């Protein structure tokens, strides 16, 4: 049995705008138990309906082959703010993917060029 050259594609599918944000990890060559240790930031518009799709692929001599995927809702990470879990890969016999997810609140940017004086009276 040969070793694989896996990489992961992470897609945040936005419910409201139908837009997607996609990131790809580096390829880990000749490995059956890869560890990517990479972090990616996603802007979540609708935490209850946006989903994170995580797909594992193998880059081989004759092209790229699908290995498995998991689809995650974001409600748990929003409620707990941080958690780590093993997710079973659909399409793979016995593989799983361990993810560390963290919810981060970012400040809202206000453009001072659009501020107008408020008159009360």
Which position has the higher pLDDT, 95 or 107? Answer: 95
Provide the CATH topology of domain 6-114.
Immunoglobulin-like (2.60.40)
Which position has the higher pLDDT, 27 or 61? Answer: 27
> What pLDDT shows up at residue 1?
57
Task: Over range 38-49, report the average pLDDT.
Answer: 87
- On whether the pTM is more than 0.75, the answer is yes
What are the sequence ranges of the domains in the chain?
A: 6-114
DSSP string, 66-118: EEEEEEEESHHHHHHSEEEEEEEPBTSSS-EEEEEEE----PPP--GGG----
In this prediction, residue 21 has a pLDDT band, given cuts at 50, 70 and 90, of very high
């Amino acid at each position: 049995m040969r070793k694989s050259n896996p990489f992961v594609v992470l897609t945040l599918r936005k419910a409201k705008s139908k837009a997607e944000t996609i990131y790809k990890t580096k390829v880990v060559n000749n490995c059956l138990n890869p560890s990517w240790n990479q972090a990616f930031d996603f802007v979540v518009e609708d935490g209850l309906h946006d989903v994170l799709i995580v797909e594992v692929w193998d880059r081989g001599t004759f092209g790229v082959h699908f290995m498995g995927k998991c689809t995650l809702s974001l409600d748990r990470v929003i409620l707990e703010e941080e958690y780590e879990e093993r997710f079973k890969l659909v399409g793979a016999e016995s593989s799983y993917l361990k993810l560390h997810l963290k919810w981060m609140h970012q400040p809202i940017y206000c453009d001072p060029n659009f501020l107008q004086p408020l008159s009360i009276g």
